[in-house]
């Protein structure tokens, strides 16, 4: 863990190093993934079967029946099922508000213009099943697709030794999956994108995964749409000394426990509070079942930055463009207004990022690696496409057509000009 102060003469250089440090996989992954994709494209089921046997230790059948998913849902204890249903309801309500409206108007020239939105025909969702299995990711991916009107929802999830996580299956049933396949890794992404003898291709692939999954999504983009290329998780907490340091330590570790290369950063204007948070992190680490992962993340990538006043924090936040941003202060609104780049923002002392992972409502699939500068979290729009339309009658083509003819002629495209001018006489 590094400790920085913006009062130090070398702060700018140290902060630049923090911003520019890469925590994502090297180029060796790219070559491995390209080879896997090529095999799946040429060999289909045979390649997927071989790779599944090699990496996950099981053979066919790959399909998990919807009956098994519903049985898993029915088998949950009452408290857990209620929690899953609450999460699903809140996620659905939030994403229903994102669905865009069609438009259809006639402008001053008498031209009818507009756009209509439709869901893609089929979407594939990748759900991790290696280091950990996350039913929350099932809900966060499948429910927006369902709200978008996707007709065929396909879920893939690795099942080491063929063992599926019952909670993941329960979430699939609750969210409305149409197909569930026990395959993972780059081979699963390739199967979704290109199809095999058994698995029909989809139009969009979403969902988190390891470096091989992220790279596979990058490589199949263009054949299918993707949500994003996501890297290791990250959290940035801006907190003043009025917080309980134990709370903030827990917030930082909530992301550190995801992955050894996750990153947790605290910005505060109180050096004594920074010391207290650091001590609280050290005290909590030994109590975690995820201690080894969280310790590696905190020691190698954690950071505490002390600033003279919190008004200096927003430019630093924007440089980091974090996946998750907590504004743990008494009045978060001024900081909230000043921040431009963050995947999702959590306002106030009583809004830990972890509540957003499960039951807040907004999506937890978010841009990492400073990509919040130019991209957004998963939404209904990732599963939809917009088609514009235009209609002229004889009067309106006469009103706007001459300008089109002039521009086409200037561009040296006489057939373009003629296709309009022929309608003007």
Residues tagged active-site:
323-324
Q: Residue 117: exposed, middle, or buried by beta-carbon count in 10 A (0-12, 13-18, 19+)? A: middle
Q: What angle do CA 194, 198, 201 make, to 5 degrees?
A: 30
| 361 token code pair | 């409502």
Region class of 44: left (phi > 0), else alpha (psi between -120 and 50), else beta: left
As a whole number of angstroms, the distance between CA 305 and CA 303 comes to 7
As a whole number of angstroms, the distance between CA 86 and CA 343 comes to 23
Q: What angle do CA 172, 176, 179 make, to 5 degrees?
A: 70
| 155 token code pair | 């879920």
As a whole number of angstroms, the distance between CA 95 and CA 379 comes to 7
Beta strands in 77-163 (DSSP E): 103-106, 112-119, 122-126, 152-156
Q: What distance, in Å, lies between the first and last C-alpha atoms of the chain?
A: 75
Q: Hey, CA dihedral for 341, 150, 68, 48, is it positive or negative?
A: negative
| 8 token code pair | 């130090």
| CA 193 to centroid of chain Cα atoms | 18
Q: Are strands 384-391 and 112-119 parallel, antiparallel or unpaired?
A: antiparallel
Of the candidates 238, 256, 301, the one whose C-alpha atom is nearest the C-alpha of residue 17 is 301
Please give the helix or strand (H or E) that residue 325 lies within, else none. strand 324-328
As a whole number of angstroms, the distance between CA 378 and CA 91 comes to 12
Residues comprising the chain, all counted:
425
Of the candidates 133, 120, 209, 130, the one whose C-alpha atom is nearest the C-alpha of residue 171 is 133
Q: Which residues face 75 on adjacent strands?
A: none
As a whole number of angstroms, the distance between CA 166 and CA 291 comes to 25
């Amino acid at each position: 863990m590094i400790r920085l102060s913006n009062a130090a003469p070398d702060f700018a250089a140290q902060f630049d190093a923090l911003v520019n440090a890469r925590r994502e996989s090297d180029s060796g992954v790219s070559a491995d993934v390209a080879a896997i994709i090529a095999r799946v494209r040429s060999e289909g089921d045979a390649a997927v079967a071989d790779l599944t046997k090699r990496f996950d230790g099981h053979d066919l059948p790959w399909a998990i029946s919807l009956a098994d998913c519903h049985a898993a849902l029915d088998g949950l204890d009452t408290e857990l099922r209620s929690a899953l249903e609450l999460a699903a309801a809140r996620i659905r309500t939030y994403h229903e508000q994102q669905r865009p409206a069609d438009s259809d108007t006639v402008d001053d020239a008498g031209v009818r213009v507009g756009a209509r939105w439709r869901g893609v025909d089929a979407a594939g969702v990748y759900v991790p099943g290696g280091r950990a299995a996350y039913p929350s990711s099932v809900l966060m991916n499948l429910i927006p697709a369902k709200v978008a009107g996707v007709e065929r929802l396909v879920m893939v999830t690795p099942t080491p030794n063929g063992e599926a996580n019952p909670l993941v299956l329960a979430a699939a049933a609750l969210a409305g999956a149409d197909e569930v396949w026990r395959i993972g890794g780059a081979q699963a992404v390739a199967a979704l994108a290109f199809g095999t003898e058994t698995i029909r291709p989809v139009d969009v692939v979403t969902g988190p995964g390891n470096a091989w999954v992220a790279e596979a999504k990058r490589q199949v983009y263009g054949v299918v749409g993707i949500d994003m290329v996501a890297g290791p998780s990250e959290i940035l907490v801006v907190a003043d000394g009025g917080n309980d340091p134990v709370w903030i330590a827990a917030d930082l570790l909530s992301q550190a426990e995801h992955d050894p290369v996750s990153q947790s950063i605290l910005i505060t204007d109180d050096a004594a509070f920074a010391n207290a948070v650091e001590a609280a992190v050290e005290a909590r680490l030994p109590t975690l079942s995820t201690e080894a992962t969280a310790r590696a993340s905190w020691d190698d990538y954690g950071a505490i930055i002390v600033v003279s006043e919190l008004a200096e924090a927003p430019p630093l936040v924007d440089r980091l463009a974090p996946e998750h941003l907590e504004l743990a202060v008494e009045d978060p609104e001024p900081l909230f207004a000043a921040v431009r780049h963050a995947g999702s923002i959590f306002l106030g002392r009583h809004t830990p990022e972890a509540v957003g992972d499960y039951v807040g409502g907004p999506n937890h699939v978010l841009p990492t690696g400073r990509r919040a500068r130019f991209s957004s979290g998963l939404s209904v729009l990732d599963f939809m496409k917009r088609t514009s339309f235009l209609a002229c009658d004889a009067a309106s083509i006469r009103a706007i057509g001459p300008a089109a003819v002039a521009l086409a002629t200037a561009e040296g495209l006489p057939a373009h000009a003629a296709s309009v001018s022929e309608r003007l006489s």
